[in-house]
Amino acid sequence: MLYRNQHQVVDKLTKRIENLKGMAYRTMVIFGPPRCGKSTIAKELAQRCALRYVDFLEEVLVSLEVKIETFNRHKLLDYMRETIMAHGAGAIFDELDGLLVTWNRSDLVSFFGSLYRFKVAFPVIVVTRQDLDFARLLNDPSRVYRVQ
């Protein structure tokens, strides 16, 4: 169930995703503190925009029994690209923090920098609680949304 302010957030993000369709780079980051509604918003957004919702923790780390220490940024970006191509549409990657908390700041900055230049034909949205300067990392404040 979405709360009233979450409906407003989903409406705003739906419009932003529509605007991404005409851009060369279609990556967006949704971030905020734990338990603020990021996942709820992401699931609703996936449904509205016909995007695949990926619970990274459950789908990759648990069900595929992948060792977390084997997932570096290159492997993560490859997984994201393969998921998008297999689905034939954009995707929202949630619960990446189980992996990202094991990386140092330099790895995080490098991953999000690579994500900024991630060229795919469909929207890619990452949901995280990491508190980095995403507007600077992605070089575009319109591709960053903080949930409070």
Predicted local confidence at residue 140, as pLDDT:
73
Fold of 4-146: Rossmann fold (3.40.50)
pLDDT averaged over consecutive 10-residue blocks of the chain (148 residues)?
Answer: 77 85 75 90 92 88 71 86 86 88 86 80 85 73 80
Predicted local confidence at residue 75, as pLDDT:
87
Predicted local confidence at residue 93, as pLDDT:
93
Would you call 25 helix, strand, or coil by DSSP?
A: coil
Strand 52-55 vs strand 91-94: parallel, antiparallel, or unpaired?
Answer: parallel
Predicted local confidence at residue 131, as pLDDT:
76
Domain boundaries, the chain: 4-146
Predicted local confidence at residue 41, as pLDDT:
92
